[in-house]
Every structure is written in structure tokens, then in C-alpha cells.
Amino acid sequence: MAVRRDKRGTLNHNCKLDLRKVRSILGSARSNAALARELGVSPAAVSNVRTGRTWSWIDEDWDDDESEERAARPTLVLSPSADWSMCLG
């Protein structure tokens, strides 16, 4: 088993969006191109948020106070070659 820390959202050094921008994308009916111009990102970035390709762990009810803490929590990654015999008791 390996533990990895996800660098999701603003913890990722390549981040172009923040929670405020993601919420505005998710809550808007405007076109991808119009939102992209307003937010200073590409239309593909807006589309990726809307389709869940990126920022899929965010919804409109996400709590900003816990966002960085949740994103920094370790995530358990199970290897397909893990020895499961120890789990069988």
C-alpha cells in the first residue's frame, strides 16, 4: 500500500483557478468562451470544470474553510499486486 498526498486545487503549482472561480463556473449558464475571457483562462479549462474532468471534488456547497485541509489529506492507494492475505485474518 502506498499513501500519496493529492495536490488538488490551489495546492497544485500549475493551478489557474481557485475556489471562487470554480464556483462561478459551476453556477453560471454563460458560455465557456465568455467565462474564460472573464476569468483569464482557456475555454477548455472552463469546460473541464463543468464536465468534472478537473475540480470534480468541488460542488457549489463546498466549505472554503476546510478546502485546503481536505485537499492536503493523504489518500490511500492500493496496489493491484498488494498481498491481501494479511487482510483475510
Position 68, amino acid: E
Q: In sequence order, what are the residues at sequence separation of 6 or more whose Cβ sits closer than 8 angstroms to the Cβ of residue 75?
A: 3, 4, 5, 6
Q: pLDDT 10s digit of each residue in the chain, 89 long?
A: 666 667 778 777 778 898 899 999 999 999 999 999 999 999 999 999 999 998 888 765 556 555 555 555 555 455 555 555 555 54
Question: Structure pTM?
Answer: 0.61
Kindly list the domain boundaries of the chain, sorted by start residue: 2-62
